[in-house]
């Protein structure tokens, strides 16, 4: 018996308003997420990963043109942000209201989505602060955000995101602005929380090691398209797409520190709107041949595990 997916994207394409003409940030994304599953969307700037997350959350600007399907079959209805979806964003210094206390901000979520009254919401906020690792929550619940460090603010943002018990937690580079020690702590926290609550997690990151730490499955985006997808452990050891391989080669070179050039990928990703015909990665790909420049590679495999490359033989 197949599990009903929590999130299903079919051919999702997004054009964002820009000068002089709108740009296509996402070109036909197919993705599936089961309840309780943890998926990492990996890509670099311009890959469309943040756009995908915002599209899922329903937070794209009104002028954005969205085509393709976005459904939540397991929910049976449009998700309510805050209640069904939790959101954690990259910049811990911008995501909290500087004027309200942290307790009020967490409490707001409960009052709005769980019909709690302020007194119980405040008590629940204290409990949540403790769960996300803020020391002495009872004493700190009325403090404003500026009394907390970047790492602590991110913990508070996570508390707000999970307060109403959402089915899906969306996180956009939640640790990129933090140093490695704090990053490890925040990832441990996220890992523990989503396991405990059985929340599904969609985490956007440019760091494959972060993806490997916390995701069951990894989806790699390049120039607005999905190029590879599969179980995390397998993908990190047997990458099939040349782009994934190149990224992993760099990551491993940095880890090993054996000196010498880092096997950087020559060139840069195409400008949105100026993608070459055929495979978008072809101009930079060491394995490219004639067909790559003419014909965009078809997806080989199925929705949850596959690769788009003329060279892959799966």
Separation in Å, CA 95 to CA 59, 120, 145, 154, 157: 15, 24, 10, 8, 7
Give the nearer residue to other proteins in terms of CB position, either 64 or 287: 287
Sheet holding 300-302: strands in order across?
Answer: 85-88, 168-172, 200-205, 38-42, 217-222, 225-231, 305-307, 300-302
State the nearest-atom distance from the C-beta of 170 to other proteins, in Å.
Answer: 17
The span from the CA of 233 to the CA of 255, in Å, is: 17
Closer CB to other proteins, residue 123 or residue 311? 311
CA distance 268 to 292: 17
Closest CB 243 distance from other proteins, rounded Å: 9
Among 117, 147, 195, 238, binds other proteins (CB under 8 A): 238
CB of 180 to other proteins, least distance (A): 5
DSSP 298: P
Q: List binders of other proteins among 61-120 (CB under 8 A).
A: none
Between 67 and 149, CB nearer to other proteins? 149
Q: Answer whether 43's CB lies under 8 Å from 220's CB.
A: yes
CB 219 within 8 A of CB 229: yes
Find the shortest distance in angstroms from Cβ 128 to other proteins.
Answer: 25
Site string for other proteins, 127-166 (x = CB under 8 A): ----------------------xx----------------
Q: Of 203, 218, 246, 307, which lies in the binding site for other proteins, with binding defined by CB under 8 A?
A: 246
- Tell me which residue of 19, 16, 97 sits closest to 63, measured CA to CA: 16
Q: Is 44 in the site for other proteins (CB under 8 A)?
A: yes
Coil, strand or helix at 214 = helix
Evaluate the CA torsion angle 23, 51, 271, 12 in order and state its sign: negative
Spatial contact of 6 and 200, defined as CB atoms under 8 Å apart: yes
Residues 6+ apart with CB under 8 A from 109: 82, 160, 163, 164
CB 289 to other proteins: min, Å: 6
Stretch binding other proteins (CB under 8 A), from 77-85, 122-130, 158-166, 258-266? 258-266
What three-state secondary structure class fits 9? strand
Residue 31 or 246 having the CB closest to other proteins: 246
Q: Measured from the CB atom, is 11 or 17 closer to other proteins?
A: 17
Please, what is the minimum distance in Å from the beta carbon of residue 71 to other proteins? 27
* Residue 24 contacts residue 14 (beta carbons within 8 Å): yes
Q: Please count the residues of this chain forming the interface with other proteins, following the rule CB under 8 A.
A: 53
Is position 252 an interface residue for other proteins (rule: CB under 8 A)? yes
Quick one: which of 210, 220, 223, 282 contacts other proteins (CB under 8 A)?
Answer: 210
Report the distance separating Cα 200 and Cα 39, nearest Å: 8
- Prior bond of 13 cis (ω within 30°): no
311 in contact with other proteins (CB under 8 A): yes
The residue from 268, 277, 294, 302 that contacts other proteins (CB under 8 A) is: 268
Among 15, 183, 199, 280, binds other proteins (CB under 8 A): 183
- Where does this chain bind other proteins (CB under 8 A)? 44-45, 50, 149-150, 178-185, 187, 206-210, 212-213, 233, 236-239, 242, 245-248, 250-257, 259, 261-265, 268, 287, 289, 291, 310-313
């Amino acid at each position: 018996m197949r599990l009903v997916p929590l999130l299903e994207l079919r051919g999702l394409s997004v054009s964002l308003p820009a000068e002089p003409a709108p740009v296509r940030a996402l070109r036909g994304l197919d993705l599936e997420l089961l309840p309780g599953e943890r998926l990492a969307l990996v890509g670099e700037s311009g890959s469309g990963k943040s756009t995908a997350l915002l599209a899922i959350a329903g937070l794209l600007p009104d002028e954005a043109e969205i085509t393709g399907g976005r459904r939540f079959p397991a929910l049976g209805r449009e998700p309510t942000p805050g209640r069904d979806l939790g959101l954690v964003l990259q910049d811990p210094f911008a995501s909290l209201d500087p004027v309200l206390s942290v307790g009020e901000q967490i409490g707001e979520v409960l009052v709005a989505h769980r019909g709690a009254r302020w007194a119980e919401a405040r008590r629940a906020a204290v409990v949540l602060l403790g769960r996300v690792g803020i020391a002495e929550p009872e004493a700190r619940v009325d403090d404003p955000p500026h009394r907390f460090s970047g790492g602590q603010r991110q913990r508070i943002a996570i508390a707000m995101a999970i307060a109403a018990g959402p089915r899906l937690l969306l996180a956009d580079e939640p640790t990129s602005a933090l140093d490695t020690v704090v990053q490890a702590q925040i990832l441990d926290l996220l890992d523990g929380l989503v396991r405990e609550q059985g929340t599904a997690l969609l985490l956007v990151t440019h760091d494959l090691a972060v993806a490997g730490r916390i995701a069951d499955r990894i989806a790699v985006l390049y120039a607005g398209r999905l190029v590879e997808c599969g179980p995390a452990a397998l993908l990190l050891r047997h990458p099939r797409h040349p782009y994934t391989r190149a990224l992993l080669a760099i990551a491993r070179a940095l880890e090993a520190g054996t000196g010498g050039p880092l096997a950087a990928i020559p060139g840069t990703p195409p400008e949105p709107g100026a993608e070459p015909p055929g495979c978008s990665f072809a101009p930079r790909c060491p394995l490219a041949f004639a067909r790559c420049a003419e014909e965009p590679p078809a997806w080989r495999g199925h929705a949850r595990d596959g690769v788009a490359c003329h060279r892959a033989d799966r």
